[in-house]
Structure 1
Amino acid sequence: MDRLDGKQILMIVGQKNYNEEEFDYLFQRLESEGADVFVASNQLEQALGRLEGSVTPDEAIEEVDPAEYDALVLIGGYAARLFLWDDEKTHQLVRKANDLNKLIAAISTAPVVLANAGILKGRKATVFPDYDATLSLQENGAKFIYEDVVVDENIITCNHTRYKEQFAEAIIKYLSKTHEKTSESLQES
């Protein structure tokens, strides 16, 4: 049995210039563990990567019901800065998911979305080592930690594409634990 059987994961990408290396690796890795992986973006039209990749979103961000997913995974790159950092619809989605105690994971520049949504106040987090990105975390009350991957309760952040494997493993480990708890409670019933 795969570690993420039955888990529903929503990956969020900005409309143009998302980081394909992060997206492709995480999508394939999470699917290979048994998760059902879906994609959302600002619009339903094809989202374009920074190189030559593209993906057709399953949902527009404004239409997402976070209760339908076990986790949100936000992909970085210039797209996060341009299309997600200050997008109120994305902020609302992230806040709702956090209120439901869903796993929220963000890599490279994407943790700024979480900070701007207001869910990192008093929480440990990391982000791509860029002045604007680190400043955004600090100004929004996050406890910025310069580490590759930081886990603080239901929030996982990663500061660079080169640590995508560790980031994926942290997501899988977190969701596997919630899977085990669900399986145990079903067996007890």
Structure 2
Amino acid sequence: MIDEKQEALDYLDGKHIMADNMYRTCVMLARYYKDEGFGHAKIRSSIFDWANRYHLYIRHDLNAIITYVMSSPMPLVANTVKINQRDREFISRITDNPKTQLIALAMLCYAKVYADKQKEFHISCVSLGAWIGIHRSQIKRRYIRELIDFGYLEELEKPRNNYTWANPQSTRYRILAPVHNSGDYKLVRNDIYKLYREVFSGCL
């Protein structure tokens, strides 16, 4: 989610694969293979080889995904996110629940990269769930609800469609925490659990 190349490599290694996140997975793989210099046909065959290796079914229009990716100038980006003591204290004031803290930390990392000047951003609970390993229904109904109720997030706009790159089942939020990208703790290889243990000195 943050280090996009690492996200694609994890999918290639069979990690974080969820059926309802297959659209994003295929987009990220197509972007990875595009960056490797593959053409349309080779990207298609490579993704199907990957799917066969892990016994996965792709129900989306893969050619349309590849065509979109090939027309886009977006290379995969290895974004850097840092967490500071102020971030930790803000989250700790909101909740003592370790899983809610984890979701809050993940949302903060995402916002530090993708939020606009108003601290607003779109995020898909499907993709967030695949990254963290918690089902999207739990994330949405329990943990994000808690973060909204206790003043960490504002929900601005619910999903309007299912499968587009710009809005893949995503909701628009405003984060109320500071989003200054500085601190002694760094998200490495998208390992949000490791970052959580470092920041909160706890285990999940």
TM-score under structure 1 length normalisation: 0.31
Q: Which has the higher helix share?
A: 2
State TM-score, norm by structure 2. 0.30
RCO higher in 1 or 2 (8 Å CA, sep ≥ 6)? 2
Higher strand proportion (structure 1 or 2): 1
